[in-house]
Every structure is written in structure tokens, then in C-alpha cells.
Structure 1
Amino acid sequence: MGTYFSEREFAQVEPAENAFRSPIPTQVISNGEFNPPAQTAQQKQVEARIKELADTYGAKLGMDRRRFLQTASGMAAAFVAMNNVFGNVFDVSEAEAADPMMAQARADGTKGQFIMDVQTHWVRDDYNQEGFVGFLKSVNQLERSGLDPSKISVYDVKFENYVRQIFLNSDTSVTVLSGAPFDDTSWEFLTNQAIADGVKMVNKTAGSTRILGHAVVRPGQPGWMDEVDQALAERPPASWKMYTIGDPLSAKTKYPFRLDDEKLMYGFYEKIDKAGIRNICIHKGLMPSDYEESWAGVWKYQTAWDLPKVAKDWPQLNFIIYHGCFRAFMDQPGAALAEFEKTGDIKWATELSRVPEKSGTQNVYAEMGTSFATTAVIDPRFAAALLGTWIKGLGSSNVIWGTDSVFHGSPQWQIEALRRLEIPADMQRKYGFAPLGAANGRVKNQILGLNSAGMYNINLRASYPRFTEDKFAQIKEEYRTAGTLDTLRDNAAHGWIARRPA
């Protein structure tokens, strides 16, 4: 698991733009941080079935395959294909794929649903660490691997595409713009000042509060509390972002820390409590299968080991665990599901779900970014198990929507996946999971937006009309009125996939 692919690794990948343009990815997409696994036999079946459905129903509507898959019926067809291969996990019927009016009626049923994505990114204009997004610095290296550099652009993860993919090409209402710490600061996606400036720029353009911002904090690094003081004085954030592992891309990370380190952290908690900015977003999880060897000495900082004490000591603060403390990042497909079916546990995520029982508090949350997207693509039954585990232990009021976009492209397919997902009945019976319910039912409304709205003090009664009338809403409505809104959906993926057979 490396930041840059080696020459050998490059021979095994190709640009994700070369993948089949499906409404739902049919294989895992890497942003360059990890080696993407090859498309599984089941994913190949899903892709073949999507093509079959698109050709059948597209022809009846006078559309070619690509155009059909941009429509609501095309999205429905993709979920039909997933059910055909993995079993009935998603609420969808083939009639939606066949009948655009039925598909549109389904979409209209969730129109106006408040969706708040608390984990989003873009990179600054002068960002030059292209290895992070899966691009080599040298065009020569790309050419030696037989890849076409003209198909790859850092634009995919910059501001303009962020607005397009999130606010025009998805149902997202409000976002939180985030960042990440690195021991080498040249790797930062955005500085805290740039995050604050970006928030102002988007909201001024939209004419409403469409985006909130993090301030990234770096506990243990020289001057880190001075940076906190500066943020509070000059640009108070909506919440704080930190990584207990320190640098998330280097096993030689210099500044890992525990949340319950009284000497290091408790002064910070006192300060932010006094300031009234009490949401702390913490990256935990997403480690390779050989983590005990490749991240020896530091991997435990990615676990939930420090949460029971700190949650109990600081019940007035919210500890929002990004990626839901899901460990099994890019394991061999099926390995995590097999472990779950054998033990009933999901490594690290189950530990997180047990924190309320240990701490006696309800101030720990699971955020879903990347964990939900990758598991839904590899095996939606396991995605259901992961979501069921979080909800059973933490409660549906403590599971938070995030997508890690725009690194993953438009979040719309992830939104649709959660709206349609149901925990299979056999899994509900065996593990005591509650059903997720309707797309706009209580549980999914909570997860998709209401939980975060409460946490970030967003008064929906006062604010929501502005979201439906602001500049972004007007642009979206112009496309809809012209009948061209779905043409914004390019179904493109950005990054890298395992090289497909010729």
C-alpha cells in the first residue's frame, strides 16, 4: 500500500476512465493510495448484466447504452444487476429499468430529502503531489506503462468538478470540506486558511450556506496549539479534523497519539469546549491486511482503543469516527464477510460499536465515507452487515453520512445505494439487526442528513428553503427544465483500476 505506484505496480493498473461507465462502479477504484484488487467474478457478472439490461431497455427507448445509463432507469438497471448477482439487497424492480416514468416517480419520492455529506475534499490549485490521486509526476513513466496521460487530469479533484459532481450531479444539500495532515506539509490538499476561503467562496456563489469547513489539527507537532488558537481567533471552523495515526500515508509517521492522552489532549478539549465548537472528526481504520507488519508499532492508533475513556471524560464533545473504524481496507474480496459470518464481528468496527456500552455515553459516532462505497461495490451483503453493526451498537442517531467525494467522483450512486439498501432478512434474524426501512423513512433520513444537521446546529425549517432557491438550485432547475439534467451524469470514475484483460 503505497503513495506512488512502482513501475511493476503500474503495469498492473490502468486509468479508471477506461472502466465500463456504469452508474455504479463494477470494480474497486483506487485514488493511488492502494493497489486496486482485480475485478471479481461477481463484479464481472454485474457488469455483463448491466450491459444486457441497458441494451435491451435502451433500444426500446431509442437510446444507446451510454445514454440509457445516464438516466434514472439506467441507475435502476444497475441495482437490478446487483440484486441478480448478490441477492435481493437493494429495493428495486426491473420495471423501473423498463419504464422511465416509473423510475422518475421513484426519484421524485425522495425529492427534497436533506442530505449532508460530512466528508468531502478538493485539492488546492497549486497542488503538485499528483501521486496521491494516482498520477505519476513523469509523463514518461505513464508512457512506459502504455497509459495515455491525456486522459488524466488533477481537475477531477479540484474545485470546479467538486461543485459539478456534488451540487449539480447529486442530491447533496450541504457538505463539510475537509483536509488531512502530513508530516511533509507539501502534501496537504488544502491548508486551514484555504478551507476557510473555499467555504466563503462556495457560499457566496450559492447565496446560501451550502458548505461548512474543518480545521485540521496536528496533536504533538510543534506549535499545534498555536494553530488551534489562530483558527479560533481568525476563522472559527464548524468542526475539527484529526488523524490519530498522524500522517495517514506513511508507516514512519512521526506524531501518532491517543485521544485519551490527558497531558497532550485535554487542554485542547477544554479550549474547544469553551469556544463551543464541540465536533471532533477523527480518521480511524482503513488499513491493509498486513497492517501488523507494514504499520508495526503504530497501527493500534487506528483502532477504537482510546475512545471509551475520552468519551466518558468529555461527554459534552462529539467524537465522529471517520470511516467508522473499519479496518479491512482492500482485503481480498470476501475475506471480511467470511470473518463476519464466522465470528459476528467486523474488525475494529465492532469495537467502535461497543464504545457506548463501555463508556456509558452516546457521544461517539460512525461516519461512513469510503467504507460504505468500497464494501457496496465488492459485496453489498457485507455493506449491509457493516451498517447493521454500527446501528446496533451506536444507534441510528449516531451513524453519519459521508462519501469521501470528490475523490470518488459524484456521490449520487452512493446516495442511491443507501436509499435502496436493506439488511437481508436472514442477517436481521441471525445478528439482531433492525431493518433500515424506506428510502425516506426515519433511519435513512437520520443517517443521510438529520443527524448531522442536529450536530452542526442547522435549522432546517429556516435554511432548507434557501437550499432549493439558491444559485446552485437555479442552475440545476434550468437543466431539469431543459430536459438535460441527466446528461450531467457522465458515470466517469477517476483514479486507477486493476488492468482489465485485453
Structure 2
Amino acid sequence: MWIKKDQRDQDTGLASPIPTQIVANDEFTPMPQSSDQKKVEERIFTLADKNARALGLTRRDFLRTTGGMATAFLAFNDVFGPTFKVHAAEALETAAYKEQWPKGEFIFDAQNHHVHDGMAGPLMFRKLTGKYGMNPDLIGIEPRKGDLHRANFLKEIFFDSDTVMGLISGAAIGRTPDDYILTIEEMIKTRNTINNAAGSQRMLSHGIVDPTDPGCLDEVSRQVEELGIDGFKLYTGNPGGPWMFDDENIAYPLLEHIRELGAINVSTHKGLSLGGRMTPYYMPTDIPTVAKQFRDMNFIIYHSGMQHMMAQMPASFVGVDADGYIPWTTDLCRARDADPAMTNVYMELGGVFGYSVITHPQICGHLLGQIIKSFGADHVIWGTDCIWWGSPQWLIEAFRRFQIPENLQEEFGYAPISDQDRRLIFGENLARLYNVDIDAKRREIPGDAITKMKTAYNEQGAEPSNTAYGWVHV
């Protein structure tokens, strides 16, 4: 059977700073925990018990500290080998942790989600899973209210992680806006609520439209001119009306209108296919054509176009060919190599980094190695897909600590990830695309209301959830 991970963690006390088994949203069935993942989980709790006793803490309280996070990565290395840069001293000494990492990182998350306040969880996915038979076990199961809503979003993103700015995203999935997980009005409400509460700009918002809707162009105008959206997120694999970017009758009029209105950043979900007849619409085969046709627009490819979610693979599955081929992602990299002028395409890491780095580190090495080699570190965008997966802090920590395995560097010519690469990917690239002045933000944000609230929260004893809001196999 399988249950919500946050419910399992609450019932069993097995919450860990990093996930120890594959977590799925409502789109697919989660894989059972592998033997190696079970070893990681057991090792985390063995080390945590020892370290907690040394510090006079309960295991649960210890795992909420920076030492608990370091302990989780130490446990991972014990099982999978030296995947993450972590020192034993970090587990017991806060100062050792603080000394290890750069100060004042500008972390700007390109992919944040929540559901609207009246929705008891991601019900649109539930409708899809029932209608298209992808996950019939979910029919009739209701998630708990509150986990994925706005107030918890603020806590998970800004209080319990080092995220400085975020971009609220969504998708036009369904036949009408009533079907969407989050309407554009709710997205704008989140952006404005957080920015007003902060007294500074902490959130941006995508606009979302369905180009197969006859009123699409008018809706684009409304979202740009009245709602002040910051860019568009487009979803080609909508079961209610699929389309492709190289369709001159559907996509080109939309893009031309978006360009006329000055909203030149277009993000799109590519890869992570729902499967079946929709698969061709998730493929990024249309991106080289549209990028060439609209050189003065930017196309941000969410999930780096990777065909498979790591959560859909057994943890022991290699997932790449002997030559390093990653379905669909490598195809985009080859297209970029073949067209040096394709500098208006960016690769985003949401979902695919997090679940490859903790389940398939070799795949993660290929993923980062290829997209940095082909597109450049200045064209890779940080995104986490949170809060579907809980607080993004474990993802931030994983990216700080992960290095492309040396065997892959030697065999495939991947360069090691440098500190400068991390700075670019964590936030500088996205800030450049959306005209965010980082120096101005460094002056503004330390004195805003969210920073003050976060400081008070930490002083009173932070309580990170150490959970995710998807499903796990038990």
C-alpha cells in the first residue's frame, strides 16, 4: 500500500532531512523503497541517535538542525560512496557547518507551487489519474487540508529554507480554468500577498494560458496589462487540448502576441510525460525550431526536458545508455551543440535534480554534466518544484554539496561544478532573465518583514517539517 509521506512521518517518527525513498505526486505510483535506500534510512537514524545523545537532544529535534542535515548526507555517503561534500564535524558543531558554506547566496527558485485555499490537495491530478487510468488507487482518497496551501507555502519556502526569492508557477491543465490546480488569480494573490507582507519583492508570478482556447490572446493581454504577470508558463501536454511550439497556427500567434506585450520569457513543461497518447506533446522536439524562429524570446525548459521522472524508475535502474544518453535531455543538448546561435534556451532543474541526486547520483552527474557542457552554467536555472516536495532546503543543501563523479568527468569530459557555476545556477541566471537587481535586493531584503519574521522564528526554535507532501510506498 502507499500513503502520504507527511502522514507516514507523523505516524512513525521517521521524518528525515532528506528523503530516503521515492516520493510521487498524484501522477504516478511511487516505487517501493530500495534496499540501498533502506540502508540510508537506517544509517541516518543510527547516526542521529548517537549525535542527539551527545548534544542532549531528542532524535527528532536533532534532525531538524543543521547537524541533522549533515548527518543525513554522511549516511548517504556511507551507503552510496562519496557523493556529497560533508565533514563529520558539521554533525555536531553549528560553527563547522556555517564555516563550510558561502555567505549571502542569492537563491532564486524558478518553480514554486501550492494549491488554492479551498482545495484539499492536488485534486486536478486526482481527476486526471482517474480519467486516464494512470493511478486508479487514488480515486476516492482525500489528502489532508492545509499542507499545500498558502500559509504553509510561506513557511516551507522562506522560513525553513535559504530561498531568497521565488517564482510562483502553474499549468493550464484541464478544459477550463476551473480545472487548474491554481488559477492565475490565486497565483497573483500569492505573489502580492507575500510581497506586501515582506515590504519588498520576494515573489514573481507566471501567467498561464491555453493557446487552444479561442479567447487566449485576449487573456494574454489581460494577464500582462491588468495582472502584471512576470512571464508565461505554457503546458503543451494538456489532455484537454495538446499542442506544440512549432505549430504555426496555434503557437506562433500566441508567441507573437506575448512578444508584442514585452513578456519575452516563456517557460514550458517538457519531459516527465504522463504517458500514453500524450507522450509526443511532452517531447522537446519542437524547441529548436521555435527558438530559431523567435530568437528575441527566451525559452526556459522546465525539468530539462528529461523523459522520465526518477520516481518512476527502480532505484537500481541505470537510466542512461552506455554513452551517457538521457532520453530527451541529451537530444536538447545535441541540438544546442549543433546550433551555437541557440542561446535563448535555458535548462531548468525542478524535479529532475532532486530525485536523481538522492536515488541515481550517476544519472544526476550525467544530467548536470551534459547541460552545463552544452548550454553553459549561465544557461541553467535553479528550480525545485516545491512545495510538492516539502521545503526546498534539502535540495539546496544537495546542490551545494554534490559534485559530478570523477569517473564521469574522466570518461565524458564533464567539467567539475565550480563555486561560480553554483552562484549562477542558484539565482544569478534567473535574476538576469527577469531583470532583478541582485545588489539592490541584497540591500533591501535583510531589512524586510519576512527576514525579521524568519529571524524571530529561528530564535524561538525553528521547526522544519522534514517532510514532503507526496505519496510513498509502504
TM-score normalized by the length of structure 2: 0.91
- Report the Cα distance in structure 1 between the residues aligned to 2:242 and 2:220, rounded to whole angstroms: 18
Q: 1:62-81 counterparts in 2 under 5 A? A: 62-81=56-75
Q: Is the 8 A contact 1:129 1:187 kept in 2?
A: no
**What is the match of residue 402 of structure 1?**
383
1:475 to 435, 450, 453: 453
- Report the Cα distance in structure 1 between the residues aligned to 2:251 and 2:306, rounded to whole angstroms: 24
Query: Quick check: 116-125 or 91-100, which moved more?
Result: 91-100
**What is the match of residue 142 of structure 1?**
none
Q: 1:175-254 counterparts in 2 under 5 A? A: 175-185=166-176, 186-245=178-237, 247=238, 253-254=239-240
Q: 1:314-393 counterparts in 2 under 5 A? A: 314-329=294-309, 330-334=311-315, 337-340=318-321, 342-359=322-339, 360-393=341-374
**What is the match of residue 153 of structure 2?**
162
Shift of 1:184: 3.7
1:459 to 420, 430, 437: 437
State the Cα deviation string for residues 481-500 of structure 1 (Å, max 9, x = none): 45x2xx3212122232101x
- Report the Cα distance in structure 1 between the residues aligned to 2:338 and 2:345, rounded to whole angstroms: 11
Query: Quick check: 153-162 or 459-468, which moved more?
Result: 459-468
Given the alignment of the two structures, is residue 271 of structure 1 paired with residue 260 of structure 2, yes or no? no
Q: 1:7-22 counterparts in 2 under 5 A? A: 12-17=1-6, 18-19=8-9, 20-22=14-16
Query: Quick check: 354-363 or 454-463, which moved more?
Result: 354-363
**What is the match of residue 132 of structure 2?**
none
Aligned AA (2:155): R
The SS at the match of 1:203 is helix
- Report the Cα distance in structure 2 between the residues aligned to 1:130 and 1:418, rounded to whole angstroms: 27
**What is the match of residue 138 of structure 1?**
none
The SS at the match of 1:415 is helix
Figure out how many residues of one structure are paired with residues of the other and give that number.
455
- Report the Cα distance in structure 1 between the residues aligned to 2:163 and 2:183, rounded to whole angstroms: 24
- Report the Cα distance in structure 1 between the residues aligned to 2:94 and 2:56, rounded to whole angstroms: 12
The SS at the match of 1:310 is helix
Shift of 1:101: 2.7
Given the alignment of the two structures, is residue 102 of structure 1 paired with residue 96 of structure 2, yes or no? yes
**What is the match of residue 433 of structure 1?**
414
Q: Is the 8 A contact 1:167 1:173 kept in 2?
A: yes
- Report the Cα distance in structure 2 between the residues aligned to 1:68 and 1:78, rounded to whole angstroms: 11
Shift of 1:133: 7.1
The SS at the match of 1:305 is helix
Query: Quick check: 219-228 or 64-73, which moved more?
Result: 219-228
Q: Alpha carbons of 1:363 and 1:262: their partners in 2 closer, same or farther (altered >3 Å)? A: same
The SS at the match of 2:155 is helix
The SS at the match of 2:320 is helix
The SS at the match of 2:366 is helix
The SS at the match of 1:378 is coil
- Report the Cα distance in structure 2 between the residues aligned to 1:313 and 1:336, rounded to whole angstroms: 38
| CA RMSD of superposed structures (Å) | 2.1
1:36 to 30, 36, 54: 30
1:490 to 443, 465, 472: 465
- Report the Cα distance in structure 2 between the residues aligned to 1:200 and 1:306, rounded to whole angstroms: 34
State the Cα deviation string for residues 26-77 of structure 1 (Å, max 9, x = none): 0111222210100011101111111111111111111121111111111001
- Report the Cα distance in structure 2 between the residues aligned to 1:338 and 1:259, rounded to whole angstroms: 27
Shift of 1:310: 1.1
Q: Alpha carbons of 1:133 and 1:205: their partners in 2 closer, same or farther (altered >3 Å)? A: farther
The SS at the match of 2:212 is coil
Q: Is the 8 A contact 2:165 2:203 kept in 1?
A: yes
Shift of 1:361: 1.6
The SS at the match of 2:267 is strand
The SS at the match of 2:250 is helix
Q: Is the 8 A contact 2:211 2:254 kept in 1?
A: no
Given the alignment of the two structures, is residue 119 of structure 1 paired with residue 111 of structure 2, yes or no? yes
Aligned AA (2:257): K
Q: Alpha carbons of 1:13 and 1:273: their partners in 2 closer, same or farther (altered >3 Å)? A: same
Shift of 1:427: 0.7
**What is the match of residue 271 of structure 2?**
285
Shift of 1:128: 5.1
- Report the Cα distance in structure 1 between the residues aligned to 2:391 and 2:194, rounded to whole angstroms: 17
The SS at the match of 2:385 is coil
State the Cα deviation string for residues 245-274 of structure 1 (Å, max 9, x = none): 1x2xxxxx2421121222222222222222
State the Cα deviation string for residues 261-305 of structure 1 (Å, max 9, x = none): 2222222222222222110010011136xx4xxx13x31221121
Shift of 1:100: 3.2
Among all aligned residue pairs of Structure 1 and Structure 2, give the percentage whose two residues are the same amino acid.
Answer: 36
**What is the match of residue 144 of structure 2?**
153
Q: Alpha carbons of 1:13 and 1:127: their partners in 2 closer, same or farther (altered >3 Å)? A: same
- Report the Cα distance in structure 1 between the residues aligned to 2:15 and 2:450, rounded to whole angstroms: 26
State the Cα deviation string for residues 174-224 of structure 1 (Å, max 9, x = none): 111111112243331221122222211110111000000111021112321
Q: Alpha carbons of 1:428 and 1:70: their partners in 2 closer, same or farther (altered >3 Å)? A: same
The SS at the match of 1:393 is helix
The SS at the match of 2:299 is strand
Q: Is the 8 A contact 1:15 1:494 kept in 2?
A: yes
Aligned AA (2:147): D
Shift of 1:358: 3.5
- Report the Cα distance in structure 2 between the residues aligned to 1:336 and 1:38, rounded to whole angstroms: 13
- Report the Cα distance in structure 2 between the residues aligned to 1:134 and 1:421, rounded to whole angstroms: 34
Q: Alpha carbons of 1:59 and 1:133: their partners in 2 closer, same or farther (altered >3 Å)? A: farther
Aligned AA (2:300): I
Unaligned runs of 5+ in 2: 128-136
**What is the match of residue 413 of structure 1?**
394
Given the alignment of the two structures, is residue 311 of structure 1 paired with residue 257 of structure 2, yes or no? no
TM-score normalized by the length of structure 1: 0.86
